[in-house]
Amino acid sequence: MRRSLRFAIGVLLPLMTLAIGWQLGARYEQEQLNELSERLELLYTGKTGTGSVLADPEKEVDISLLWGVWRLLIKHYISSENLDQRAMVYGAVGGLTRAVGDPYTTFMTPVENKEFHQSLQGKLEGIGAELTMRNEQVVVVVPLKGSPAEEAGLEPEDVILKVDDVDIAGETLNQVVDRIRGPQGTSVTLTILREGENDLLTLSILRARITIPSTQQELKLTGSGTLGYIQLNQFGDGTVGEVREALRALRAENPKGIILDVRSNGGGYLEGAVEIASMFLSQGKVVTVERRDGEPTNHYVSGRPSDPTIPLAILINEGSASASEILAGALQDSDRAKVIGKQSFGKGTVQEVFDLPGNASVRITIAKWLTPLGHDLGSAGVTPDIEVDLTREDVAAGRDPQLSAAMEWLLDGEDVTAQ
């Protein structure tokens, strides 16, 4: 893992040399500005002076451009007391990652890095929603289970237009997240665009300290037998062990089948998805990681399944993403489980987190995921074998037709009335 921080440009100021408005005085300084303008033009066209496309940044990107703009800011900016050098560095690096155009390739400040790792441990403070940037809009991937966002009615695919009546158009994802965050017990108001709704929606959400269990288990007692139910809320640090314990407890009740529920599960660790798939698959591939160079890397099951034959169904929806899709895709391609619900989110890329000095980090998309049969999870996600809607009316009435469909399939259409 590389731990050195290299600076490159792509942000800061668009055209420093236009309409300065007065004579700077020194010929030397004007020559410097002209040189910076030429370098900006080369940078924006992505070519060197000889016309070749930039390749090796250490050899072909003139980092003096960054320092030139830096010195001009230090020397000429009207409010010098407001120039925060750390913020300027973070802004430059953050702009560099944003210029890639991939919402999953991001720079994380020390605070954001800490919150990212806390989220994988199930510890959060805020409204409890996973957001992404798509087509220059902030889109809800999923409200976390039991979170204030879920209780307030935030849904996957909602587009956030305003935060506390402030139009966020043009802001970065991190800027919007910073607006939404706040002290526990305070509220934030989101203006939402939702497909199928004629009017914009306004949601007031009370921020809270959120602890999210990775899994929850339950026995479903019906007139035709017992089913085991495991809800996976994320693929975090303790998820694999929790699923293993849940299966052990449910197995003791001799259920007719198991339902895995990864609805509104935004993902987590790749290794967790592979290990959980290994609990149900005796052999075969779980996922292929395809990088830009070299041979693809195949991740296979461990060969030590705990429940290789028990009938299995898995529930997905529009908020099932990342590791959830890996698990569902592997079980579907191997004909090991029936996938029920709605089309998944389609987050089929791999990010690696590189630690940087000062407890910052950068998360970079390094590969994409393919299911065992070669389906690109990033292009369409996972398509359910049995498509079942779950409407707002269903939720309000306490109905869950997706879960009912899974129970009926496992019990061969027999009575699924709870006892």
Residues carrying an active site annotation: 322, 333, 347
Listed residue (108, 18, 116, 8) closest to 62, CA to CA: 8
- List alpha helices for 46-180, DSSP H: 57-60, 64-76, 85-98, 110-120, 148-152, 173-180
How many other CB atoms are there within 10 angstroms of residue 243's CB atom?
Answer: 22
Dist CA 95 CA 89 (whole Å): 10
Residue of 115, 123, 133, 94 whose CA lies nearest to 181:
115
Count the residues in the chain. Answer: 419
Distance between CA atoms of 325 and 369, rounded to whole angstroms?
10
**In DSSP terms, which residues pair with 220 in a beta bridge?**
227
Query: Could you tell me the sign of the dihedral formed by the alpha carbons of 161, 162, 167, 170, in that order?
Result: negative
| Residue 193 near residue 180, CB atoms below 8 Å | no
Nearest Cα to 325, choosing from 264, 280, 279, 281? 264
Beta strands in 194-247 (DSSP E): 201-206, 208-211, 215-222, 225-232
Asked if 336 and 252 touch (Cβ cutoff 8 Å), the reply is: no
Q: Is 371 helix (H, G, I), strand (E, B) or coil?
A: coil
Q: Is 307 exposed, middle or buried (0-12, 13-18, 19+ CB in 10 A)?
A: middle
- Supply 202's token pair: 């306004």
